[in-house]
Chain A
Amino acid sequence: SQQGEEDPQALSIQEGENATMNCSYKTSINNLQWYRQNSGRGLVHLILIRSNEREKHSGRLRVTLDTSKKSSSLLITASRAADTASYFCATEDQGGKLIFGQGTELSVKP
């Protein structure tokens, strides 16, 4: 079962530009998490936003959460070629397990 759905599926930008990825989900959540995956590697936890938070920052990352619209966005500012990766949102199901979306594939061209 898929809870989160990312949009767009793929995004290509130039170095220095900002990248925005969106995630929509279906049921109520306790928190929403974003992960990064480099090609052929495991996922790395980036940031967690609680359901009572609207915005959270970590370095060049900014996450927003709109529980009324059941959506979240991940903004990467001043992107670098090293940011090239797939980005996944994940939400917790009723059993406490994370359900991942399909991911957004980000390509940052130097």
Chain B
Amino acid sequence: DGGITQSPKYLFRKEGQNVTLSCEQNLNHDAMYWYRQDPGQGLRLIYYSQIVNDFQKGDIAEGYSVSREKKESFPLTVTSAQKNPTAFYLCASSIGSWYGYTFGSGTRLTVV
């Protein structure tokens, strides 16, 4: 089945650590996106990539980094510079915004 897979489902980070969230899709979509969702809030765009080896900052990119070495993969690293990383992270892909986005099931990151 085609889809988009995020792992892990739950992730715990200690102060000062970098952690990487995985996002893989087998939909052959060119564009991929990372959003952050805080409790009771909408989605805020962190980074997006419309083609391999290229990506752009979204509205809240500070403290995050990404790579897009393969079409299928768009990992997000939450660095120690992100002071308030506890949130629900959602990855999405699309063939074009006219066709809607396909979302993964999310990773819940908690700072311990």
Contact = CB atoms under 8 A, between A and B. Distances in A.
Interface stretch (A14-22, A57-65, A74-82, A98-106): A98-106
Nearest to B33: A97
B42 to A, nearest CB: 4
B16 interface: no
B45 A97 contact: yes
Contacts of B102: 45
Which of the four size classes fits the interface of chain B? 20 to 34
Interface string A88-110: 10001001111111110100000
B105 interface: yes
Given A1-B59, A40-B106, A45 B100 contact: yes
Contacts of A45: 100-102
Given A40-B106, A42-B106, A97-B33, A103 B42 contact: yes
Contacts of B99: 48
Contact of B98 (A1, A31, A41): A31
Contacts of B100: 33, 45, 48
Contacts of B105: 41-42
Interface string A25-61: 0000011010100001111110010000000000000
A12 interface: no
A44 B103 contact: yes
Given A42-B104, A48-B98, A101-B42, 6 more contacts: A31-B97, A40-B88, A42-B92, A92-B97, A98-B33, A100-B35
Interface of B: 6, 33, 35, 40-43, 45, 48, 50, 56, 58-59, 88, 90, 92, 96-106, 108
